[in-house]
Structure 1
Amino acid sequence: MKYLTTALALSFLYLFTDTSSHFSSGGFDMKDFNKDRVKTVVVSHRGTGDFRTIQAAIDSIPSNNNNWIKIYLKHGTYNEKIVIEKQMIVMQGNDASKVTIQYNDAGLANSSGPFRLNAEYFVAINITFKNTYNNIKQTVPYKDIKVAPSAILMADKASFYGCRFISVQDTLADLLGRHYFHKCYIEGAVDFIWGRGQSIYQNCVINVKGVTSKKMVNNREMLAGFITAQGRESEQDTSGFVFNKCVIKGTGKAFLGRAYRGYSRVVFYGTHMSNVVVPQGWDAWHYKGQDDKFTFVEVNSTGKGANKKGRVRWEKNLSAKEVDFLLNPQTFVDNDGWMATLPSALVSLYYNHLQSLSFRI
């Protein structure tokens, strides 16, 4: 394949022959990432770094920045509402379970929460993004929760490694641009991965919380939310969510997705689905009668929730070539090669992933 030579050439830098061995509940092993020669500023809310707040560190970066700058976050909980308007930032923690950016804020889907990205070329590694507004420990009525995103992505060319996104409704606002998520954890109940983003979710864990939506499935009421609400708006719209070798688990029930716009596109490939996934699988929402325009796809998935008995009749069956195009980062999210401009350890990890694809359909 055309990218194989490049992959082999880069692999000597920081070879990850088994990326799973570098990931735990805390995130990625950072020993290789720390070797990248980029300027680093340190944030510690205890005063042992260059800045006490993340926003102060971001504000210190020149507006016309054209060199990668690493913002290293020491362990701690940062109660901040962060907005990034500057490009070429790597924001890094060493353990996602010990580095949390959180805020208690709800009501506005495109501005509430602890984190908003408005600039290109951004990387986050081993960080938890959490909206603490809906602190739900067990199943509650839908009417008792509010829109409360943990992260809002409004920019192109962003990637996340070993990060966690935690809330209940609209957890990850994947609104605009091309994004790549590797070994991330996403928790929520209602529309908790949503927007018009063009994104690949690789080896991620999706945790479904229990919230009632009073949705009728097979003529009976189900306590079910929605994992995705993708907003593709036309055949020419390149957006969509692709989940490759992920895991769906949890304590609630959920549809794989609903049509947030008339050409919604979501693909699950090789994903292990527990019985939290309702039999119907997908919902047309306000676009009933237009289901031929959706691209809702499941390929080679496993687990009780992957049983297609009871699925909606209009779930799509794509050709192997069409699935390959969506699974391959180089054709779906990286057609201009932006991911090769990331810090070297991430480039190595990315190309190692490409090698592992091997187009197996």
Structure 2
Amino acid sequence: MKSLKSILTLSFLFLTAISSFVCSDGLELKDFKEDVVKTVVVSPNGAANFKTIQDAIDYIPSGNKNWIKIILSPGIYNEKIVIPKEKQKIIMQGNNASEVIIQYNNDAGLSNASAVIVDAEYFAAINITFKNANCSKSTPIIPKEEVKVAPSIILMADKAWFYGCNFISVQDTLADKVGRHYFKNCYIEGAIDFIWGSGQSIYQNCVIHVRGLTSKGGEMLTGFITAQGRESEQDKSGFVFKNCVINGNGMASLGRAYRGYSRVLFYKTNMSNVIVAQGWDAWKHKGHEDKITYAEVKCTGEGANKEKRVKWEKNLPPKEIKFLIDPKTFIDEDGWMGSLPSSLVSLL
């Protein structure tokens, strides 16, 4: 047994060394060597350090204080992944989001129904598709009675960063529940409340795709892009969409108020005609619209026509707009984004 253990250890070290030559979408591992202390490789066919992503996560020591990189080889990873709070400073990277897919079929409720649950701070993902296979049919139009709560990822921790990732489901696709998060060059697809939670997040240069939703009789129904959960004037949370694109084959409101002080800003976003004329919905908070902060600034496209928008949509002062769209003031006041590995910082 001792001999076998030695062989396995040597094999692990060899594969780790080989992994330093892996490249992905313009980001090479040599770019990370000053910041990342260890790199491991996962492959669903077993030709790597680990066969499953969860095995790689479990390998990382509790209380980890150094950046560890997990390279995901191309393939479909059919597994449920949980990153516990004691496993901080993890980077998961694929070579191309269309070739690296983490998926799981689960509709077990908002707290658990997801392919990936992130409970740890300082998490980064690059070029990965997160998909909940439950009711994520390839057909563009989905009957509403078939739709279930099925997030692709649940973010339960502060300080998470995503670049070039896809998030695919129908209802509650991206559970941006707690903490400060930054999404850049990402693709988010769904029909009902598909970006939701009490997160304090900026979505920059992202594509938001609205899927079609129909009644039993085949009538096209209106969905909702956001359901943000800010709960008071002191609550710092909110969703900011900056230089994004909204398209799709369905119809949707820009958002409905998940909590009474919901806050969402679309800034310089191109909106196709999938956006309904009224734009926003107070949902359970009708009569208290003055506490909701929904705004659009310098948006373009057919769906950005504000002539028939709800009367209570806010006209924010320039100072507040500047505060919300700048990562340094809205989500990075303590400088956590600067502590990311240098090549990640260069992509901000």
Pairwise same-fold verdict (TM > 0.5): yes
Percent same amino acid at aligned positions?
A: 66
Amino acid at match of 1:329: P
CA distance in 2, matches of 1:241, 1:130: 21
Call closer, same or farther: CA 1:280–1:235 in 2, change over 3 Å: same
Query: Any idea what SS the aligned residue of 1:201 has?
Result: strand
CA distance in 1, matches of 2:94, 2:294: 35
CA distance in 2, matches of 1:31, 1:229: 34
Query: Any idea what SS the aligned residue of 1:349 has?
Result: coil
CA distance in 2, matches of 1:256, 1:321: 23
> Are 1:170 and 1:194, in contact at CA under 8 Å, matched by a contact in 2?
yes
User: What corresponds to 1:249 in structure 2?
Assistant: 247
Query: Any idea what SS the aligned residue of 2:27 has?
Result: coil
Q: 1:162 aligns with which of 164, 169, 172?
A: 164
User: What corresponds to 2:64 in structure 1?
Assistant: 65
Please list, as runs of the form range in 1=range in 2, the aligned pairs for 1:8-27 lying within 5 A after superposition: none
Call closer, same or farther: CA 1:63–1:271 in 2, change over 3 Å: same
Please list, as runs of the form range in 1=range in 2, the aligned pairs for 1:26-45 lying within 5 A after superposition: 29-32=25-28, 34-37=30-33, 38=36, 39-45=38-44
Amino acid at match of 1:132: A
CA distance in 2, matches of 1:340, 1:48: 35
Query: Any idea what SS the aligned residue of 2:260 has?
Result: coil
Amino acid at match of 1:334: D
Structure 1 residue 139: deviation in Å? 2.4
> Are 2:142 and 2:212, in contact at CA under 8 Å, matched by a contact in 1?
yes
> Does 1:126 pair with 2:122?
no
User: What corresponds to 2:107 in structure 1?
Assistant: 106
User: What corresponds to 1:233 in structure 2?
Assistant: 231
Structure 1 residue 30: deviation in Å? 3.1
> Are 1:213 and 1:225, in contact at CA under 8 Å, matched by a contact in 2?
no
Query: Any idea what SS the aligned residue of 1:176 has?
Result: coil
Query: For each residue in 1:291-316, what CA deviation from the matched residue of structure 2 results, as whole angstroms up to 9, or x when unmatched?
Result: 00000000000000000011000000
Amino acid at match of 1:41: V
Q: Which has the bigger relative contact order, CA under 8 A and spacing at least 6?
A: 1
Amino acid at match of 2:271: M
Query: Any idea what SS the aligned residue of 2:346 has?
Result: helix
Query: Any idea what SS the aligned residue of 2:103 has?
Result: strand
Call closer, same or farther: CA 1:113–1:290 in 2, change over 3 Å: same
Q: Which runs of 5+ in 1 are unaligned?
A: 1-27, 215-220, 351-361
> Are 1:213 and 1:224, in contact at CA under 8 Å, matched by a contact in 2?
no
> How high is the TM-score relative to the length of structure 1?
0.86
User: What corresponds to 1:22 in structure 2?
Assistant: none
Q: Which runs of 5+ in 2 are unaligned?
A: 1-23
RMSD: 1.3
Structure 1 residue 143: deviation in Å? 2.2
Whichever of the two has the greater Rg, that structure is 2
> How high is the TM-score relative to the length of structure 2?
0.89
> Are 2:213 and 2:220, in contact at CA under 8 Å, matched by a contact in 1?
no
> Does 1:299 pair with 2:286?
no
> Are 2:172 and 2:195, in contact at CA under 8 Å, matched by a contact in 1?
yes
User: What corresponds to 1:288 in structure 2?
Assistant: 286
